[in-house]
Amino acid sequence: MTPSGAGLVAHSGGPTAVINASLLGVVEEARKRSAFSALYGARFGIQGILRGEFFDLFAQPEATLRAVSEAPASALGTSRLEVGEAELEHALAVMRTRNIRYFFYTGGNGSMGTASQMERMARTIGYELAVIGIPKTIDNDLTVTDHTPGYPTTARFFAAAVRDIGADNRALPGQVEFVEVLGRNTGWVVAATLLARAEPEDAPHLIYLPEQPLPLEQLLEDVDRVFRRLGRCVVAVCEGQLDEHSEPFGADVRAGSRGSLASNLGHRLSILVQERLKIRARAEKPGLLGRSSRAEMPLIDWVEAKECGAAAVRAARAGVSGQMVTLVRRQAAVYESTTGLTPLEQVAFVERAFPPEWRSPSGNDISPAFLDYIVPLTGALPAHARLHYGIK
Amino acid sequence: MTPSGAGLVAHSGGPTAVINASLLGVVEEARKRSAFSALYGARFGIQGILRGEFFDLFAQPEATLRAVSEAPASALGTSRLEVGEAELEHALAVMRTRNIRYFFYTGGNGSMGTASQMERMARTIGYELAVIGIPKTIDNDLTVTDHTPGYPTTARFFAAAVRDIGADNRALPGQVEFVEVLGRNTGWVVAATLLARAEPEDAPHLIYLPEQPLPLEQLLEDVDRVFRRLGRCVVAVCEGQLDEHSEPFGADVRAGSRGSLASNLGHRLSILVQERLKIRARAEKPGLLGRSSRAEMPLIDWVEAKECGAAAVRAARAGVSGQMVTLVRRQAAVYESTTGLTPLEQVAFVERAFPPEWRSPSGNDISPAFLDYIVPLTGALPAHARLHYGIK
């Protein structure tokens, strides 16, 4: 096949630490196969398409693309703009002016919905366009795919944060410590803080899943019990956790567009604990640092993100359209993954909850069985060394 | 000299990422010189002394101490207990039962005050005891010493946090982002976020020092100006920042003992910006992660922390008492430091403010001259790579 048109990559939604690795995967694969007559990158996602603002990706030096792939956040820029039919039509008109025939949309389940609409509309108006989704979300809430690029890095970031804050809490006890974790509706990230617990009495002492409402009284009982036993307590809780009335415990939780939250939930819970239990409490909220820091990035996340980009190009060149690349876990003694494809409709607007079988019956912990799933993605988290007890 | 008594190490106040390196320095130097008949570590600081709870440090395997020196937070445990004359007397009585003649107190300016009182009381009651202070505080607010172990790691942590959150803000603009930084009264840590600014338009766009009251109207004007120009804005602000009425902008700032804060200042400022300027705003608060994470630790911080511990033992064995170890910057083309000594009284309860000459006249930035001071301690912060503009 000879290049019959140009390609276009766009990013959508919140950036991750490895979204630029997927970009590198697209560009390298496209170059290798001389797949497209040109390759554009939309500046600030769908907005860049609507405004006709593009990077020329084939013009970027190889070294620049490599270096960019090692930077977090989106090098193209991304957008949370919600688009309707008019915008999609306009976007297709812009694509036509540049003979863009391959569209790679990198995002989560909402973005896959947009990609799917774009594909249908192109078909309706008779514009030949292959649309391929590239998965990206720290939330890990896409169906079909085993996991999503970006999730392993964020999962490990928060696990390390809970380990380190837990070490601080152990060294200077007498305090309850809330760690507010990214995650509005699903608990994949907060569940990963289980990796921090090297010894049974280590943080996190309590992990709550936003899939389950958390009655304030249960939280207070749980915290009180742990604190009485250990004299300290670290609680991992999602920014989107709700109580039994589907309220955020009186916290100031402002919703941004498309799932982003500005929340002070951890701080609010620390106030409630302090008022009700008379135990000193505080909260930390690494927040967006949890998706933009590469300090804890597992290499596999970068590798798989890049591979998803490459697989998208191969699929497009093979005549596929209306599909999203997936990661497929191979059953093997040593972790291995490959890529697959799934219809965009299958993943569009569907949120994959944290599975019930990995929740603990107590409602405040995660089953160790979850480790079999996550450790291959994040690696084990090294425990901090401790002095031998030997008090005399 | 032959060992004429036992040594005792205790930690005080908030842990740092390298306080265990100072512990290693004490133990290694003491072993090498056969300096003491025994070496104890107080479990949970002054509380451990009062309760008679000690680690036997000579009994710890070398490998354990090495590994512990690479863990953040205090391996001995620390305390914020405020002690009066009665406790000091009791502590000396406990020391006498173990023939402890060398006391190494690792802490900040408050702890150096306690150490000084302990030394005077021992002299008063005729108990022969050498007291040496080992500097430790992420706040870098001790006088005399060039800087304090723990500061470089925390400074670099927050600089990297602002760089990464800044990359996220650049990729997905339209939002004001507050990064709440550790620091109650002094701006040494928040000033270090200047390291993140590789290009003039990079984060942090505004840096405020708690040494200067910040009128809300000034903050709003500053934010508005930056946001109008760039469409985004990252503000680095201390947890202890006060407005022109010496109030925390209506934030819920609860003081713990001895300088610790539980604050939601950043979040509060984000609400004010959103309400007053109608710009979407949010806040992140890495909080205690900024003193317990080693992800960004510069090796020099570990090395100097260890050296401070070793210097304390050498001083004690040389007959010194009532002094704190200091770090002295040598004037050389390449950064070099050595240790010195200063009377405990000199540093006790004195807070070193961020120097006026490194504040920018605008009141919302740091002078680049500060970089000459800090870069040798933290290293330069690598900038994230960017695509070449080349929009077409």
| Minimal CA separation from A334 to chain B, in Å | 27
Contacts of residue B177 in chain A, CB cutoff 8 Å? Answer: 288
Tell me if the bond preceding B204 is cis, omega within 30° of 0.
yes
d(CA A270, CA A265): 9
Q: Which runs of consecutive H residues, i.e. helices, occur in chain B?
A: 19-32, 45-51, 62-69, 85-97, 109-124, 151-171, 188-191, 216-230, 265-277, 289-292, 299-317, 344-347, 370-378
Chain B residue closest in CA terms to A79: B172
Residue in B75, B168, B256 nearest the CB of A15: B168
Q: Determine, for residues B54 and A392 on separate chains, whether the beta-carbon distance falls below 8 Å.
A: yes
Q: Per-residue pLDDT tens for B37-53?
A: 999 999 999 999 999 99
3-state secondary structure chain A: CCCCCEEEEEECCCCCCCHHHHHHHHHHHHHHCCCCCCEEEECCHHHHHHHCCEEEHHHCCHHHHHHHHCCCCCCCCCCCCCCCHHHHHHHHHHHHHCCEEEEEEEECHHHHHHHHHHHHHHHHCCCCCEEEEEECCCCCCCCCCCCCCCHHHHHHHHHHHHHHHHHHHHHCCCCEEEEEECCCCCCHHHHHHHHHCCCCCCCCCEECCCCCCCCHHHHHHHHHHHHHHHCCEEEEEECCCCCCCCCCCCCCCEECHHHCEECCHHHHHHHHHHHHHCCCEEEEECCCHHHHCCCCCCHHHHHHHHHHHHHHHHHHHCCCCCEEEEEEEECCCCCEEEEEEEEHHHHCCCCCCCCHHHECCCCCCECCCHHHHHHHHHCCCCCCCCCCCCEC
Looking at chain B, the whole-number percentage of residues with pLDDT higher than 70 is: 97
Q: Per-residue pLDDT tens for B329-372?
A: 998 789 999 999 999 999 998 999 999 999 999 999 999 999 99
Q: Determine, for residues A293 and B167 on separate chains, whether the beta-carbon distance falls below 8 Å.
A: no
Q: What pLDDT score does B354 carry?
A: 98
Note whether A178 and A270 are within 8 A (CB).
yes
- Structure token pair of residue B231: 């469409």
Residue in A54, A56, A388 nearest the CB of B60: A388
Chain A residue closest in CA terms to B39: A392
Residue in A11, A71, A168 nearest the CB of B292: A168
Indicate whether A254 pLDDT > 90: no
Residue whose structure tokens are 């950036």: A15
Mean pLDDT of chain A: 95
Q: Determine, for residues B286 and A291 on separate chains, whether the beta-carbon distance falls below 8 Å.
A: no
**Distances from the Cα of B46 to the Cαs of A134, A161, B20, in angstroms?**
56, 28, 17
| Minimal CA separation from A330 to chain B, in Å | 32
Bridge partners for B11 per DSSP:
B106
Q: Determine, for residues A54 and B391 on separate chains, whether the beta-carbon distance falls below 8 Å.
A: yes
Mean pLDDT of chain B: 95
Looking at B56, B139, B224, B243, which residue is catalytic? B139
Q: Determine, for residues A271 and B252 on separate chains, whether the beta-carbon distance falls below 8 Å.
A: yes
Contacts of residue A198 in chain B, CB cutoff 8 Å? Answer: none
State the count of interchain CB pairs (< 8 A) between A and B.
229
Q: Do domains B6-149+295-347 and B152-294+353-378 have the same CATH topology?
A: yes
Indicate whether B89 pLDDT > 90: yes
Residue in A64, A262, A388 nearest the CB of B270: A262
Q: Determine, for residues B73 and A167 on separate chains, whether the beta-carbon distance falls below 8 Å.
A: yes
Least confident window among A230-239, A246-255, B99-108, B198-207: A246-255
Indicate whether A310 pLDDT > 50: yes
Q: Per-residue pLDDT tens for B299-332?
A: 999 999 999 999 999 999 999 999 999 999 998 7
In chain B, what are the domain boundaries?
Answer: 6-149+295-347, 152-294+353-378
| Minimal CA separation from B83 to chain A, in Å | 16
Q: What pLDDT score does A262 carry?
A: 83
Distance between start and end Cα atoms, chain A:
78
Chain B residue closest in CA terms to A172: B78
A208 pLDDT band, cuts 50/70/90, is very high
Contacts of residue B252 in chain A, CB cutoff 8 Å? Answer: 267, 271
Contacts of residue A295 in chain B, CB cutoff 8 Å? Answer: 160, 293, 295-296
Contacts of residue B67 in chain A, CB cutoff 8 Å? Answer: 385
Contacts of residue B71 in chain A, CB cutoff 8 Å? Answer: 167, 384-386
- Taking each continuous run of H as one helix and of E as one strand, the counts in chain B are 13, 13
Reported ipTM? 0.97
Q: What pLDDT score does A388 carry?
A: 82
Q: What pLDDT score does A333 carry?
A: 83
| Minimal CA separation from A225 to chain B, in Å | 22
Among the listed residues B68, B59, B104, B6, the one whose alpha carbon sits nearest the alpha carbon of residue A390: B59
Note whether A87 and A118 are within 8 A (CB).
no
What share of residues in chain B are helix, strand, coil (percent, to 5)? 40, 20, 40
Task: Tell me which of A158, A387, A392 to substitute to probe the interface with B (most B C-beta atoms closer than 10 Å).
Answer: A387
Residue in B165, B172, B252 nearest the CB of A78: B172
Q: Per-residue pLDDT tens for A160-187?
A: 999 999 999 999 999 999 999 999 999 9
A1 pLDDT band, cuts 50/70/90, is very low
- Structure token pair of residue A87: 């915008």
Contacts of residue A44 in chain B, CB cutoff 8 Å? Answer: 173
Q: Determine, for residues B172 and A80 on separate chains, whether the beta-carbon distance falls below 8 Å.
A: yes
**Predicted model pTM:** 0.97
Q: Per-residue pLDDT tens for A79-100?
A: 999 999 999 999 999 999 999 9
Read off the pLDDT of each residue in B386-392 and give the average, rounded to a whole number. 74
Chain A residue closest in CA terms to B295: A295
Q: Determine, for residues A164 and B296 on separate chains, whether the beta-carbon distance falls below 8 Å.
A: no
Q: Determine, for residues B283 and A271 on separate chains, whether the beta-carbon distance falls below 8 Å.
A: no
d(CA B122, CA A314): 78
Q: What pLDDT score does B285 carry?
A: 97
Q: Per-residue pLDDT tens for A109-125?
A: 999 999 999 999 999 99
CATH 3.40.50.12280 fits B152-294+353-378, yes or no: no
Chain B residue closest in CA terms to A292: B164
Q: Determine, for residues A262 and B282 on separate chains, whether the beta-carbon distance falls below 8 Å.
A: yes
Contacts of residue A271 in chain B, CB cutoff 8 Å? Answer: 252
Number of residues assigned to chain B: 392
CA triplet A263, A267, A270: central angle to 5 degrees? 145
Q: Determine, for residues B262 and A256 on separate chains, whether the beta-carbon distance falls below 8 Å.
A: no
- Catalytic (active site) residue A252: no
Indicate whether A392 pLDDT > 90: no
Class of domain B6-149+295-347: alpha beta
Q: What pLDDT score does B133 carry?
A: 98
Note whether B377 and B152 are within 8 A (CB).
yes
Looking at A56, A139, A224, A252, which residue is catalytic? A139
Residue in A11, A165, A288 nearest the CB of B165: A288
Among the listed residues A151, A152, A148, A154, the one whose alpha carbon sits nearest the alpha carbon of residue A133: A148
Contacts (Cβ under 8 Å, ≥6 apart) of B20: B68, B69, B70, B71, B72, B73, B74, B75
CATH (residue range A159-290+353-378): 3.40.50.460
Among the listed residues A297, A329, A325, A330, the one whose alpha carbon sits nearest the alpha carbon of residue A310: A325
Read off the pLDDT of each residue in A210-217 and give the average, rounded to a whole number. 97
Contacts of residue A203 in chain B, CB cutoff 8 Å? Answer: none
Q: Determine, for residues A392 and B77 on separate chains, whether the beta-carbon distance falls below 8 Å.
A: no
Indicate whether B1 pLDDT > 50: no
